[in-house]
Amino acid sequence: MLAGGETVFAGTTQSENKKMAKSGTFQFSRKIPIDDVYDLVVLGGGPGGCAAAISAGRLGAKVLLVESSGMLGGMGTAGYVANWYDLTDGERLICRGIVEELLDEMSRRGALSPTTSPAGWRRGSTGYRTESLKMVLDDFCAKAGVEVRFATSFVDVDMKGKDRLEGVVLNNVEGLRYVKAKTFIDGTGDAKVVAACGLPYRQAGRDTPNIMPPTLCAAVYNIDYTKYKGNQQEMVLKAIADGYFSQPDRHVPGLFRSSETTAIMNAGHLFHTDATNNKSYSKAMTDGRKLVQEYAEFYRKYVAGCENMQVMDSGSILGIRESRRIVGEYELDYEDYKARRWFHDQIGIYHKVVDIHVYDLSDEEYKRYSQEFNTLDRLAKGESYGMPYGMLVPKGMCNLWVAGRCNSSDLKVHGAIRDQPGCLMMGQAAGTAAVQSIKTGQPANDLDTETLVHTLREAGAFLPQETLSKKMTRDT
């Protein structure tokens, strides 16, 4: 220690140390073991990352899937958002490929909501048991030959020039490791890899006036569905009039049934939370657990059939709705959405409505949300919009893709495509593209998308042949 209790930083002189301490920085340098080399490293085991890893593994790639928690599935498991919907366009199933495979397997295992018949989810939506999805994803990864490392965090990147990623630094109980690969996919949701590469991105609350608030969801049980009427909104308004809630929030997504007596509870907005700031995120987790108990008591007190409802568990991760979005080779925007535009290079089509939750408790915000979600942005039966390949590629990058909600889209469209089925389709496309890039030498930002679309069709993705003729495409 220096006089006055200052720490001497290893490898620096006393004068250099004082300058560094004054500037608030610390120079960290050490030698770490070099790990194995892979064809593809996927950072993040949420829906997008899992679909990417499984798809690439099935195509013969040597894949490493890195997940910071102890389970796969992200928001669909650890986050307790156990309900997938808008799987159809009102007339036909459009979320296919890996989405369809996962739901078919969970149906076979009896893990879907009891209100869903064996093939009933194909009508558009279903709840499910989170433990089943964890195990199905484990099995799918194992069968595809994917190596999964749990409790492993992404630390930093090793760039070669401005357009190629050479390797990543990871950390787990064994310490720091350097892992090299031919290709990489950022499935972190928060674009952590993209940000570490120094690539441009858009950030909620920095590039936008507001941040869509997250929710800490929970698993609940002891619900009597023979008495449950589903009149939650009426009861929310009554409870607000009674002065029950600590924050009078009229926007409550509610309960989504998962078994005979259980559901996941999606209730309680954590306003002004910045998911890219750890202090903000940590506070939201603490506040979220309090809101979980408050809403559980609301259901017991006000909603028929929920008199004995109890909280089984709150999510181990926060239900983030927006944080960072990449600047990609193409940005899907609201004009595309309104035009129901399809693309030459689309990797999936979707029917999900714009769903930007209230930013605060004001009457104006609730009116804005209600009009957008219930009227203004509703798609008619048979309508859909495409998700182009370019939205998965950070602009100018040769061997890096994203999969999930950090895609390249504007604020409003992001509010539509951030859901799990959309993320799964993006992941399947990103993993397939990475393998194509390895086999052909084509860079991510100049990939033969005709071949990619053909490969995705062969893997079960819903990409109708009439793509080019049905919709006019915007110049890309």
The whole-number average pLDDT for the span 442-466 is 95
Q: Of 314, 337, 366, which closes a domain?
A: 314
d(Cα 410, Cα 426) in Å, to the nearest integer? 16
Considering the domain architecture, whether residues 345 and 199 belong to the same structural domain is answered as yes
Q: What is the mean pLDDT of residues 360-380?
A: 95
Based on the fold, state whether residues 180 and 249 are members of the same structural domain.
no
What pLDDT sits at residue 119? 80
| Paired strand residues for 64 | 41, 147
Do 262 and 347 sit in the same domain of this protein? no
**Do 353 and 461 fall into the same domain?**
yes
pLDDT digits (tens, 9 = 90+) for 393-429: 999 999 999 999 999 999 999 999 999 999 999 999 9
Domain-embedded: residue 416? yes
Specify the range with the lowest mean pLDDT, choosing from 79-88, 92-101, 332-341, 462-471.
462-471
**Is residue 102, in this structure, part of any structural domain at all?**
no
Q: Taking 80 as the threshold, does the pLDDT of residue 96 lie above it? A: yes
* Domain contains 179: yes
Answer yes or no: is 228 within a domain. yes
Q: What is the pTM of this model?
A: 0.93
> What average pLDDT does range 343-355 have in this prediction?
97
**110 part of a folded domain:** no
Does 406 lie in the same domain as 268?
no
Residue 12's pLDDT is 47
Of the CA atoms within 13 Å of residue 145, those in its CB half-sphere come to 12
Considering 265, 296, 314, which residue would you say is the last residue of a domain?
A: 314
- 225 versus 119: the higher-pLDDT residue is 225
Q: Place 4 in a pLDDT band, splitting at 50, 70 and 90.
A: very low
Radius of gyration of the chain (CA): 23
Which residues lie closer than 8 Å to 439 by C-beta, 6 or more apart? Answer: none
For residue range 6-54, list pLDDT tens digits in order. 333 344 455 555 665 666 888 888 999 999 999 999 999 999 999 999 9
pLDDT the model gives residue 22? 67
What average pLDDT does the chain have?
93
Query: Does residue 437 share a domain with residue 343?
Result: yes
Structural domain including 234 reads 218-314
| CATH at residue 430 | 3.50.50.60
Task: Express each pLDDT in 43-95 by its tens digit.
Answer: 999 999 999 999 999 999 999 999 999 999 999 999 999 999 999 999 999 99
H or E element: which one contains 314?
A: strand 310-314
Q: What is the mean pLDDT of residues 256-280?
A: 97
Kindly state whether residue 126 falls inside one of the protein's structural domains: no
3 state SS for 214-264: CECCEEEECCCCCCCCCCHHHHHHHHHHCCCCCCCCCCCCEEEECCCCCEE
Q: Are residues 199 and 244 in the same domain?
A: no
pLDDT attached to residue 230: 87
If one counts the domains in the chain, the total is 3
370 and 304 within one domain: no
Same domain, 36 and 143: yes
Task: Single out the residue in 256, 287, 314 at which a domain terminates.
Answer: 314
- Is 121 a domain residue? no
| pLDDT score recorded for residue 167 | 98
Asked if 232 contacts 252 with a C-beta cutoff of 8 angstroms, the reply is yes
In a domain, 113, yes or no: no
What pLDDT digit, counting tens, does each position of 306-330 carry? 999 999 999 999 999 999 999 999 9
**Higher confidence at residue 475 or residue 282?**
282
401 & 421 share domain: yes
Mean per-residue pLDDT, 225-248: 96
- Tell whether 475 and 377 lie within a shared domain: yes
Tell me what pLDDT residue 118 has: 78
Angle at 427 between CA 265 and CA 453, to 5 degrees: 135
Same domain for 83 and 205: yes
**120-151 residue pLDDT tens:** 899 999 999 999 999 999 999 999 999 999 99
Check pLDDT > 70 for residue 476.
no
Tokens of 439: 């086999």
Residue 193: pLDDT band by 50, 70, 90 thresholds? very high
